[in-house]
Structure 1
Amino acid sequence: MFNYKYLSKDHLEGFDNYKYMAIDTSPLSVYVMHPFWNKVVELVPRWVAPNLLTFLGFLLTVLDFVLLSYYDYSYTAASARNETIVELSQRPEVIPQTLWYFLAVFLFLAYTLDGIDGKQARRTQTSGPLGELFDHGLDSYSVFFIPACLYSIFGCMDYSVKPIRMYYIMWNILLNFYLSHWEKYNTGVLFLPWGYDFSMWASTMFFLWTGHAGTGWYKRHLAGGYTLADGFECLVYATGVFTNLPVALYNTYQSYKLRTGKMRSFTEALRPLWSLLSVFLVCSIWVHYSQRLPEYDPRMLFLLIGTLFSNLACRLIVSQMSNQRCDAVNWLLYPLVLCAAVGLITPQHELTAFYGVTVLAVLAHIHYGACVVQQMCAHFRINCFHIKKRDD
């Protein structure tokens, strides 16, 4: 079942010659988090595989999403209220207050595990391409789960942003992640964005403050009638495309100018962007012309675009690590187009098509990830979650 060979011989030979290169200039990361992680990793037994730490961190992020799906599947809990209470800030909470503290702890633990897995690999002398691919591949999925959880703080009704706006906020965050790896595809160097560490700290603080003050605290206006949710939306865009994109373009330009990068042609350099653009356009056309989406089930819509994105990002990461040409079109685009057409032409079958393509995307992505990991384990003669005993 999981023996399908997604990686070609050229991919595997590319992984054999791969060397990790990254630059991290974030003050929070360099001066605060790395010293902290250096202490924490000493508490981890040496027999614990680095990939196990990575996977546990990812599962904690998924757990946050699952817990909020149970209490607030439709993103309306933050807007639920007792009609006899005038002040929204004093309405009864639907999501248990203590849950927000657990969400904060789980997220910070996930952040910490993601920070120490590479250190554990170097500490146990098990560093390799599989660890980086496994780490970044799961990160490409987590990048959707975290904002999908934060949306429950504001909800989709009063004093918040509508699901269609959250849909574009989500795509902005996903694009941010993709740009970093597109940049590495062309430069050969992963320039770690400052926004990652700050966003993880901010998200943790959001959860902690919500546990203390409740979701009602966010039901207020800023200057000019704009709400806190509007301010959050502007902040995401300001720290996303308007900061990360210029830096990525500048670093890529410098790699061509100094001839330190891959020196691909202009069309080849842009090639990884077409698969992302095509999926974004099809999803957006479907959402805008649909009679139900995204209001009917925004959580499932976010899962769909998050899964599609993660599959695109994983394939890009595989291409740049193995120094192979990236696919211009992802095969999941074809069932996506088909289901979008069915949903728009025959609205009575739209939900069936929508849930069908979501299930297909999730299963296909899990199959891709499991097969690639298994294939690389066989190639490098290692175990993903177990460290072989060394003779010395």
Structure 2
Amino acid sequence: MAHLKTYKYQSVDKSWISNHILRHYWNAAVKLLPMWLAPNMVTLLGFCCILFNVLLVHIFVPDLVGPAPSWLCYSFAAGLWLYSTMDNIDGKQARRTGTSSGLGELFDHGIDSLNCTLGSLLETVAMGLGPTKIGAFTALVPCLPMFFSTWETYHTHTLFLGAFNGPTEGLIIACSFMILSGYFDSEIWQHRAADYVGLDKYLGDMVFMDFWLPIVLGAFLFAHLPSCVINVYRARKQQNLPFWPVFLEWIPMIIYTASICAWCASPYSILLRENHLAIFCLTLSFVFGRLTTKIILHHLTRRPFPYFTVALIPLAVGGIMAWLPLFGFEPISARHERWYIYGYFVFAMGQYFVWAVRVINRICDVLDINCLTIKKKAIDGREKQAFVGKELKTKSNANGEVRGTKKEL
């Protein structure tokens, strides 16, 4: 825990949009926040915008197909944008209030991990994909870049965001798709692309949705993942450490991804057939949140890479259970699988919150801070600093020289 006291957040953002457009918007937005508002509370309020829209999904589009009302798609876009805004200004609020700490990064990226499946679930609903394989893919694929960015940060101790990255350009595209779904209806994604852009000879009867999976996977496999691997390779080389052992650290994510694919692809499972995708995404939000937040915690405390979290076991069992007929067994009954899905949700949620509360309380004790509020001593310290600055200013003469005794200064 001693490393938490000396920890300094480091990041590199090469996005042109972030540096030349959104930076001014974020700087203006943070000035609207009161000085007594804790940075972690800013992060949590942004996440509440996502949770509110997930609740709306359960009320208005429980089948995840819809089509969702136009106002709901606009609400999805607004909620995602507000979440992104809060996610980008919480660090600025921490610097404003003098409350930057390792807990801030843990809380920030922990919330980002929880949002991976929930924010993308809103995209699935907005595009009318429903409980299908492509719908599950859309809801769960953001976990891949999030994991590898976290893995990269663990080794480099710096968060790298490329010229085209998910938190900026990717989020803008996601919000744009939600707005388009609200304006044109979600059926727009099932229209022939050639009817809008021409090129019948090359596009044929392909619809817009046919481009979704290859574009998303291609961006991850050929842009994001290689960049992460290269940065980790450079960091290991600089530290004179072997490179190849780091690939063993992909095992948790391989188990996570393979189990999801096996469960969702099984013709014997009711997971998608009976529309349990929403509860599955909520469950995986806690599973993935625990997986990546442990990596962040071990990065902050300079501990060995965490290869295992117990929440992966029920997921792997579910993936195997969905294919029991391949091993000569009878398929599990719909009733038992239904109980297993909801039981897994309760287990993952309970385990996550117990662990998160224990970790947060421990860090708060070590750093002598609060998680969601600013301690009075910090506020008093800022007021004292402002008072001293004011006194020095009043003692300055016209030439800028500071007057007063050594004791006063």
TM over 0.5: yes
Superposition deviation, residue 354 in structure 1: 1.8
1:103 equivalent to 2:48? Answer no
Which residue of structure 1 aligns with residue 178 of structure 2? Answer: 207
**Higher mean C-alpha deviation, range 356-365 or range 109-118:** 356-365
**Higher mean C-alpha deviation, range 26-35 or range 270-279:** 270-279
Which residue of structure 1 aligns with residue 5 of structure 2? Answer: 16
Which residue of structure 1 aligns with residue 147 of structure 2? Answer: 178
Are the aligned partners of 1:275 and 1:328 in contact in 2 as well (CA < 8 Å)? yes
Which residue of structure 1 aligns with residue 282 of structure 2? Answer: 303
**TM, length-normalised to structure 1:** 0.85
1:357 equivalent to 2:344? Answer yes
Superposition deviation, residue 246 in structure 1: 1.0
Flag the 1:294–1:201 CA change in 2: closer, same or farther, 3 A: same
Which residue of structure 2 aligns with residue 320 of structure 1? Answer: 299
**For the residues of structure 2 that align with 1:49 and 1:273, how far apart are their CA atoms?**
35
Q: Deviations over 1:314-350 (max 9, x none)?
A: 1111111211112212112233344555564551122
Superposition deviation, residue 387 in structure 1: 1.2
After superposition, where does 1:276-287 map in structure 2 within 5 Å? 276-287=253-264
Superposition deviation, residue 154 in structure 1: 2.5
**Higher mean C-alpha deviation, range 65-74 or range 20-29:** 65-74
Calculate percent identity across the aligned residue pairs.
27
SS of residue matched to 2:141: helix
Higher relative contact order (CA 8 A, sep 6+): 1
Q: Deviations over 1:66-111 (max 9, x none)?
A: 2122222222213xxxxxxxxxxxxxxxx33222222222221111
Are the aligned partners of 1:377 and 1:383 in contact in 2 as well (CA < 8 Å)? yes
**For the residues of structure 2 that align with 1:217 and 1:333, how far apart are their CA atoms?**
37
State the Cα RMSD in Å.
2.1
Flag the 1:270–1:323 CA change in 2: closer, same or farther, 3 A: farther
After superposition, where does 1:261-280 map in structure 2 within 5 Å? 263-266=240-243, 268-280=245-257
Flag the 1:130–1:145 CA change in 2: closer, same or farther, 3 A: same
Superposition deviation, residue 267 in structure 1: 5.7
Q: Deviations over 1:8-48 (max 9, x none)?
A: xxxx1232232222111111111111121111111211111
**For the residues of structure 1 that align with 2:346 and 2:226, how far apart are their CA atoms?**
36
Corresponding pairs, count: 358
Are the aligned partners of 2:263 and 2:318 in contact in 1 as well (CA < 8 Å)? no
Flag the 1:250–1:337 CA change in 2: closer, same or farther, 3 A: closer
**For the residues of structure 1 that align with 2:81 and 2:36, how far apart are their CA atoms?**
23
Flag the 1:376–1:245 CA change in 2: closer, same or farther, 3 A: same
Task: Report runs of 4+ in structure 1 exceeding 6 Å deviation.
Answer: none
Amino acid in structure 2 at the alignment position of 1:118: G
Superposition deviation, residue 65 in structure 1: 1.8
1:386 equivalent to 2:373? Answer yes
After superposition, where does 1:1-392 map in structure 2 within 5 Å? 12-78=1-67, 95-156=68-129, 163-193=132-162, 194-222=165-193, 223-257=203-237, 259=238, 263-266=240-243, 268-289=245-266, 290-296=268-274, 297-340=276-319, 344=324, 347-348=332-333, 349-388=336-375, 389-391=379-381, 392=384
Are the aligned partners of 1:179 and 1:248 in contact in 2 as well (CA < 8 Å)? yes
Are the aligned partners of 2:2 and 2:301 in contact in 1 as well (CA < 8 Å)? yes
**Higher mean C-alpha deviation, range 281-290 or range 130-139:** 281-290
Q: Which has the larger radius of gyration?
A: 2
**For the residues of structure 2 that align with 1:275 and 1:152, how far apart are their CA atoms?**
28
**For the residues of structure 2 that align with 1:75 and 1:104, how far apart are their CA atoms?**
16
Q: Deviations over 1:335-389 (max 9, x none)?
A: 3344555564551122211221122112212222222112211221111111123
Gaps of 5+ in 2: 194-202, 385-409
SS of residue matched to 2:204: helix
Flag the 1:281–1:103 CA change in 2: closer, same or farther, 3 A: closer
**For the residues of structure 1 that align with 2:356 and 2:344, how far apart are their CA atoms?**
18
**For the residues of structure 1 that align with 2:73 and 2:211, how far apart are their CA atoms?**
21
Q: Deviations over 1:232-291 (max 9, x none)?
A: 22221222222101111111222234x1x5x54446523432122122223333333333
**For the residues of structure 2 that align with 1:253 and 1:341, how far apart are their CA atoms?**
34
Superposition deviation, residue 172 in structure 1: 3.2
**For the residues of structure 2 that align with 1:169 and 1:212, how far apart are their CA atoms?**
21
SS of residue matched to 1:23: strand
**TM, length-normalised to structure 2:** 0.81
